[in-house]
Structure 1
Amino acid sequence: MNHPSNIGFIGAGRMGGPMVRRLVAAGHRVHAVGRTADKRRELAETGAHPSAGIAEIGVGADVVIVCVFTDEQVRRVCLGTYLIPAMSPGATLVVHTTGSPRTVEAVAEHAARRGVDVVDAAVSGGPHDIADGRLTLFVGGADAAVARVRPVLATYADPILPVGSLGNGRRVKLLNNAAFAAQIGVLTEIVRLAGRLGIDESTLLRALPHGSATSRALTGAAARGSVTAFVAAVDDFLTKDVAVVREVLAELDADLGHLTPLLGDHAP
């Protein structure tokens, strides 16, 4: 699939919008859903072909990419519409949304009846990473399906990391975000201790990124000037994802163990 592909795209928002722009710039024919006239006009300005309907996005598409925010939205789009029945056998559905592995497995079961492959491609990074073509993807799915969509995903992602069977992309991403939330918990405690030692937070955050304590959470907090400001920037997705981690572990009759006190407000 090194030639230009017909791409259907659902979820052209904060993360999906930059993906659409990268796909169009790479020469792919992108048909994207826009729920409002303003959104469809915005999509048209990127060079994408806007559509008000979900089902028509699947018609003639080599790849359909779903980049919505929640599992409920994935289920609504993939199981509650005519999207998959409209897709051609041999096409591939890529799901970027972080959520329960059971959801993407249910979507794959539904898609298999149509002869459509599903690839679970959980994302790590932000819009700036997409714009630079360096978004990280944890990808689960059959080797052949992953290989087919890799050139499309490489338009905006590097590295693309295969992590095994379908659902493992979500599992790895959930573990990644649990570790990230724990790093924020540790950093919060370090800032508290710094105050007890007479070191203000801004001084600490300028210094620590240059030492062995550095992490993505620390560099993010340093860039925003405080842990509180950084938490405010990431809280929506992080709280959602840690809640999903807890749900998945509960299904396995397990828990967060020693991570629990580190997750603080992110462990509802």
Structure 2
Amino acid sequence: MSRIGLVGAGRMGLPIARRLAAAGHEVTALARTDDARERLTAAGIEAVADIGEVADAAADLLLVVVLTDEQVREICLTGPLPERIRQGATLVIHTTGSPRTTQDIAAALEPRGVTVVDAAVSGGPHNIAAGDLTLFVGGPAGIVDALSPVLSAYADPIIYAGTQGAGQCVKLVNNALFTAQIGAVRAAVELGGRLGVQEQALLSALPHASSDSRALAGAARRGSVEEFIGSVAEFVGKDIATVRAVAAELDADLGPLDPLITYGCTTGQSAG
């Protein structure tokens, strides 16, 4: 059994906490409202109102599952958490963001005896509930191996990507490629329209051919590309902005991905 703290018991964090508690781990989570406290307590999770108490309780592991990269920096670099997280604990960042954020937090916390791991997620609450959330993980290989039995309470596969920040890089590339594919599907539908093929007919046919992809399958399920874009924009838009920012820092050329990213999806926030 591990003693785990969790900050961000929302859309993704709450089902993660539930799976960990069901697996026999002792979980303490931040809850700032009565509703959040009731949901956590009902799942056998200790709910506390102060983030410092979460850090105190996280003897083995502290999970950060908040919305934005800016929130991760605020939580992990300022306030009580960096002062009170215990020596020997591991901090796992599930929020998708800049790899530099992970590296900055590691530089601040590791001299205090805290190991920092980025474990960007691919999937949603239904994947957590089924125990098959995908994690792209960056950090010391031995630490990641030691964490895997705990993370496997809600994640499978757990994919080791390399050093700190590498998990975030893989997730950002994934979202760039996914969004580029959405843009390509939109272009295909427009071409089909010019050729006289209705969108629904095209979306029903193409998933059975060599052009199939997860983006195409999602659009087919929704019945239109625009409906699908609306359903995913909230969760990938911020990540696309991060891809551009990281590429600019590295003076990297996104090539054909960049215009398709803009074409496919440009707005919204990441859930995790």
Shared fold, TM over 0.5: yes
Return the letter of the residue paired with 2:129: A
Find the residue that maps to 1:158 and give its secondary structure. strand
* CA deviation string 1:87-119 (max 9, x = no partner): 221110000111111111111111112201011
Residue in structure 2 matched with residue 28 of structure 1 by the alignment: 25
Q: CA deviation at 1:127?
A: 1.2
Q: Give the TM-score normalised by the residue count of structure 2.
A: 0.94
Tell me how far apart the structure 1 counterparts of residues 11 and 266 of structure 2 sit (CA, whole Å).
Answer: 25
Return the letter of the residue paired with 1:220: G
Return the letter of the residue paired with 2:220: A
Find the residue that maps to 1:113 and give its secondary structure. helix
Whether 2:173 is the aligned partner of 1:183: answer no
Tell me how far apart the structure 1 counterparts of residues 74 and 262 of structure 2 sit (CA, whole Å).
Answer: 31
4+ runs of 1 displaced by more than 3 Å?
Answer: 265-268
Residue in structure 1 matched with residue 236 of structure 2 by the alignment: 238
Residue in structure 2 matched with residue 141 of structure 1 by the alignment: 139
Tell me how far apart the structure 2 counterparts of residues 63 and 220 of structure 1 sit (CA, whole Å).
Answer: 35
Residue in structure 2 matched with residue 44 of structure 1 by the alignment: 41
Higher relative contact order (CA 8 A, sep 6+): 2
Q: CA deviation at 1:210?
A: 2.0
What is the aligned counterpart of 1:251 among 245, 249, 271?
249
Return the letter of the residue paired with 1:149: L
Q: CA deviation at 1:47?
A: 1.4
Q: CA deviation at 1:76?
A: 1.1
* C-alpha contact (below 8 Å) 1:260/1:267 kept by paired residues: no
Q: CA deviation at 1:255?
A: 2.9
- The unaligned stretches of length 5 or more in structure 2 are 268-272
Q: CA deviation at 1:262?
A: 1.3
* C-alpha contact (below 8 Å) 1:118/1:145 kept by paired residues: no
Q: CA deviation at 1:130?
A: 1.1
* C-alpha contact (below 8 Å) 1:33/1:50 kept by paired residues: yes
Instruction: Give the percent of matched residue pairs that are identical in Structure 1 and Structure 2.
Output: 55
Q: Give the TM-score normalised by the residue count of structure 1.
A: 0.95
Tell me how far apart the structure 2 counterparts of residues 267 and 36 of structure 1 sit (CA, whole Å).
Answer: 32
Tell me how far apart the structure 1 counterparts of residues 174 and 154 of structure 2 sit (CA, whole Å).
Answer: 20
What is the aligned counterpart of 2:4 among 4, 7, 13?
7
What is the aligned counterpart of 1:127 among 125, 129, 151?
125
Find the residue that maps to 2:118 and give its secondary structure. strand
Tell me how far apart the structure 2 counterparts of residues 170 and 49 of structure 1 sit (CA, whole Å).
Answer: 29
* C-alpha contact (below 8 Å) 1:84/1:114 kept by paired residues: no
* CA deviation string 1:45-66 (max 9, x = no partner): 1111111111111114210000
Tell me how far apart the structure 2 counterparts of residues 113 and 56 of structure 1 sit (CA, whole Å).
Answer: 21
Relative to structure 1, the CA distance from residue 60 to residue 260 in structure 2 (aligned partners, 3 Å threshold; closer, same or farther) is: closer
Return the letter of the residue paired with 1:216: R
Tell me how far apart the structure 2 counterparts of residues 46 and 202 of structure 1 sit (CA, whole Å).
Answer: 42
Q: Which deviates more from structure 2 when the two are superposed, residues 228-237 or residues 183-192?
A: 228-237
Tell me how far apart the structure 1 counterparts of residues 218 and 44 of structure 2 sit (CA, whole Å).
Answer: 33
Find the residue that maps to 1:8 and give its secondary structure. strand
Residue in structure 2 matched with residue 86 of structure 1 by the alignment: 84
Tell me how far apart the structure 1 counterparts of residues 234 and 61 of structure 2 sit (CA, whole Å).
Answer: 29
Q: CA deviation at 1:85?
A: 2.2
Residue in structure 2 matched with residue 160 of structure 1 by the alignment: 158
Residue in structure 1 matched with residue 222 of structure 2 by the alignment: 224
Return the letter of the residue paired with 1:80: T
Tell me how far apart the structure 2 counterparts of residues 252 and 10 of structure 1 sit (CA, whole Å).
Answer: 31
* CA deviation string 1:132-176 (max 9, x = no partner): 111111100001211221111111111100010000000111000
* C-alpha contact (below 8 Å) 2:37/2:47 kept by paired residues: yes
Q: Which deviates more from structure 2 when the two are superposed, residues 54-63 or residues 95-104?
A: 54-63
Tell me how far apart the structure 2 counterparts of residues 204 and 211 of structure 1 sit (CA, whole Å).
Answer: 11
- The unaligned stretches of length 5 or more in structure 1 are none
Return the letter of the residue paired with 1:137: L
* C-alpha contact (below 8 Å) 2:55/2:85 kept by paired residues: yes
Tell me how far apart the structure 2 counterparts of residues 30 and 136 of structure 1 sit (CA, whole Å).
Answer: 21
Tell me how far apart the structure 1 counterparts of residues 148 and 88 of structure 2 sit (CA, whole Å).
Answer: 15
Find the residue that maps to 2:106 and give its secondary structure. helix
